[in-house]
Structure 1
């Protein structure tokens, strides 16, 4: 009788669980709990509200969410995975918070605010079955979203789930892009006849975690060199670096990145010797096309990088006899200690350690005054430091190093990019645009440089062009640099699309004080005073002496109306004059 009187309804249930929760707690209990709480408040709750869901159960490492629509449930799952990937971007690998998600549409029983029954249990079983970072959905959910959510599916067939009487057809969602202005859910595909290739992070075999920057740096330089060949479609660093570890699932990488070929390798550094292994894999057949091991003096690292690049291109394109001249580039530096400082500086930049990166890049230029990329990266870092110290000497020094980089190598994309930043900070907008444009032309696969071009479009008040270009980038790369959300959010703010601006800026996961400042202004423009003051508090924590006057001095937009709109929002948020 009790079951007959039970209230029932049809609901879409999302079940999510943190992978390796016990290990995270063992590593850092307090830090893990703080991080989970922050992710719940800043990512899960806003996304749940955005997709009209209701969180009805939270455990230490899991959550259950109810939706009235399967479409909303699946789209929320997609956006949640995307946001978690972005949030992990600037965290050490052992601190990554990775989710498994299951979604089911079925009948549930209601008791107070809680839900029970197979509708819930199947979602939980799908979540347990899912691979880390993936989304598994039931056949019933699939039938309702098939023509309504633009995602890809892998049909895993009928599965027997624990304590579920009837077998359930299960589908895996292919990893999608999730944005408001592009077709959400499209996996990255090699939409080209060019051979598509991803270079996964080379494994650090040195036995010293502090040497990770070195193996990462070698990987990134190989990606950069491959990207010089316009007959290849080379996946960006940000996308490739999501797949780290010696036991990477090649099939999962192929599904996520849409590539045909994958490069794996390892680096072992001991004293003045280095061993590099590399192998080229056909991701479809998973057969090895080429493999090599290099045991060299560390001074020969640039020769090894060139040989790896040439062998890959020769294997894929059959051009062994014709590529010699194309890849006979000048060594970036004659001093491997300068190169080591450069790799450390670049690693610090990726972790928002501005002070240390400036010191390391400066040291690299002192060790080798002819190291063009060290000058370029130092110039860019000084442009960012200018936002903090407001010193004219800082921006003039940046311009000197950018000019030096161009003088050393006028065909280097980073040199042009750094000159673009120096010119932008000096409000030489036409010159900045010329150099940002040339950087993108020289390095068409580098999404970070493309974002810098979009940022210039925003600065010169070509807001619609900037937003459209960013949308194209997001459709092209499902693992863009987190900085893209900052530029996108700022552009949306200036377009008076304040709610969208907040959604984009929430995806920016870094330590840039500019981000909470824009969020505060956006909330204030919407009349949401509590949220505005909370974000303003985060901004003032980073910049305790900030005022409307000090912010105004940093605004370098070509059109004064852009700065005025920002100052108006900050004034409403409570920033003092």
Structure 2
């Protein structure tokens, strides 16, 4: 006992952790390890040394640091986050290294060069509360800095920390670098942020996966309608879940302080849906429920789930308000089933196969607005390949019908905006896209297609800002986001950046290969241009300059010049 007392000391403990470490390692293990080593040598070690601290140990994706002064610890953390943000500006978004840092002032027990004890444990729990790029400190640290230094703090209130007996008052350090993928994060002190993970398919039939995915998407969409909730992008949630990352880590990677998970089991005309809301900071279950219903009651179940989540998180809201927000999409289970199957194919860029499923949904329920809107979107995807004016006319009719049925739905305006682009009615397209964004600000796909509208309308600088905004809203964007960005950069004649953007696509479609071929030609890379063009023609043998002119609805033909000139030099036929 006396020996242990002799080893005890008061210290300021800082714990830092890399956000999304598992995802980065899976994508590029060697590159991630090399980047972390370089940042440690160039940034971390000098800062800790200059502030009179020491690195106690490295812990895979984290680091434990000890300082003799709480002031020095906080100043080191703020400087570290600033230097990391500066270093991130020179790399592509998916390679950026973001840290969370927690700092506590308390007793530690020394054992050789290592330290342990409650002081360390609290620092580790505080790190888990910090937003990506942010710093959280305990009340002891906050009190120690009163009147010292320039740091400003935001009181997050008392928080129950896992395995810590008493609640700890937590403060967020105002650093200006708290970021999620390069954008300001929403803290738990402001409004709740939620990640909806894909519901598990318990039906024992893989072909039923579309049902659980569709229900997940619908719940995500409905929650996004509440302006006082921040909802993680659907693609990002699905990406992390399918990588096998556990829910708590997924929530942390997405910058969410709550996570929703559940399951769907369909047997005949009966369906069982379970859902639970988990506090990602503590791992505690906040709410859970199971619903056993007839299939035709599925929409009522979704309403109940959304209402329960909203009322649980926001006590001042009532379930009635949640139920009034959404319109029942259809009264037919069969129509909804066809709709979900079609949406799954459309999400996989298989629009041609999705068209008949959406058509069946609208035939069963002619008043199903969402099905008409998605039918229009899928028909536009088919038009890209067949360039048949009748296909475009069908898409226009479907979008118009959706608008007649529900003029206050973001997907309906999204579909109409896309149709107007292809009809070259750019002003009307802009009205619909702006309305779609206003109705659902969280939908990154709407923002990406809005960037396409700006590109075709002859506003490439604004288009670039729009697609970059969409990319910032999801850490795992669909690959076609990068194609849009590359095409915009090509029009701006920023050819090196075109190549860098398309490096984010592990599997390229023919449009990506064509864009890459043109960029390489302008850079003087003749062999690479020829290779990329050959890849494009493998995927679409009929491609020609004439076809590219037909399938790109530009307001000004000159915008196509960088693409056509590069491809013609590379050998594309007229």
Q: Give the TM-score normalised by structure 1.
A: 0.71
Structure 1 CA distance for aligned equivalents of residues 413 and 31 of structure 2: 47
User: Which residue in 2 is equivalent to 1:115?
Assistant: none
1:358 is matched with which residue: 326, 333, 355? 355
User: Which residue in 1 is equivalent to 2:286?
Assistant: 289
Structure 1 CA distance for aligned equivalents of residues 42 and 385 of structure 2: 42
2:418 maps to 1:421: yes
Structure 2 CA distance for aligned equivalents of residues 322 and 244 of structure 1: 29
Q: Is the 8 A contact 1:463 1:495 kept in 2?
A: yes
User: Which residue in 1 is equivalent to 2:154?
Assistant: none
Q: Is the 8 A contact 1:467 1:492 kept in 2?
A: yes
Q: Is the 8 A contact 1:188 1:256 kept in 2?
A: no
68 and 444 in structure 1: CA distance in 2 versus 1, 3 angstrom threshold: closer
Q: Is the 8 A contact 1:227 1:234 kept in 2?
A: yes
2:212 is matched with which residue: 212, 215, 221? 215
User: Which residue in 2 is equivalent to 1:265?
Assistant: 262
* Bigger Rg, structure 1 or 2: 2
Structure 2 CA distance for aligned equivalents of residues 368 and 242 of structure 1: 32
User: Which residue in 2 is equivalent to 1:70?
Assistant: 38
Classify the secondary structure of the residue corresponding to 2:275.
strand
After TM superposition, list the pairs within 5 Å mapping 1:160-559 onto structure 2: 186=182, 189-190=185-186, 193-244=190-241, 249-319=246-316, 321=318, 323-324=320-321, 327=324, 329-508=326-505, 512-559=509-556
Q: Is the 8 A contact 1:280 1:291 kept in 2?
A: yes
Structure 2 CA distance for aligned equivalents of residues 168 and 573 of structure 1: 63
Structure 2 CA distance for aligned equivalents of residues 477 and 415 of structure 1: 22
Structure 2 CA distance for aligned equivalents of residues 184 and 324 of structure 1: 30
205 and 469 in structure 1: CA distance in 2 versus 1, 3 angstrom threshold: same
Shift of residue 553, structure 1, vs aligned partner: 2.1
Shift of residue 457, structure 1, vs aligned partner: 1.3
Shift of residue 285, structure 1, vs aligned partner: 2.4
Shift of residue 154, structure 1, vs aligned partner: 5.0
Q: Which has the higher contact order (CA 8 A, sep 6+)?
A: 1
2:84 is matched with which residue: 142, 149, 152? 149
Structure 1 CA distance for aligned equivalents of residues 42 and 268 of structure 2: 51
Structure 2 CA distance for aligned equivalents of residues 67 and 286 of structure 1: 31
How far does the alpha carbon of each residue in 1:271-296 deviate from its partner, in whole angstroms, 9 at most, with x for none? 11111111112222222221111000
183 and 323 in structure 1: CA distance in 2 versus 1, 3 angstrom threshold: closer
How far does the alpha carbon of each residue in 1:366-401 deviate from its partner, in whole angstroms, 9 at most, with x for none? 222211111111101111211111110010000000
Segments ≥4 residues shifted beyond 6 Å: 61-69, 72-75, 142-146, 165-169, 171-177
Q: Is the 8 A contact 2:131 2:179 kept in 1?
A: no
Root mean square deviation, CA, Å? 3.9
Classify the secondary structure of the residue corresponding to 1:293.
strand
Structure 1 CA distance for aligned equivalents of residues 466 and 235 of structure 2: 18
524 and 137 in structure 1: CA distance in 2 versus 1, 3 angstrom threshold: farther
Structure 2 CA distance for aligned equivalents of residues 573 and 72 of structure 1: 44
393 and 65 in structure 1: CA distance in 2 versus 1, 3 angstrom threshold: same
Runs of 5+ in structure 2 lacking a partner? Answer: 1-20, 47-56, 66-75, 86-97, 105-111, 117-123, 134-177
Runs of 5+ in structure 1 lacking a partner? Answer: 1-16, 22-35, 45-60, 76-102, 106-124, 158-164
Classify the secondary structure of the residue corresponding to 1:243.
helix
2:567 is matched with which residue: 550, 570, 574? 570
Q: Is the 8 A contact 1:70 1:145 kept in 2?
A: no
Structure 1 CA distance for aligned equivalents of residues 35 and 301 of structure 2: 54
Shift of residue 259, structure 1, vs aligned partner: 1.7
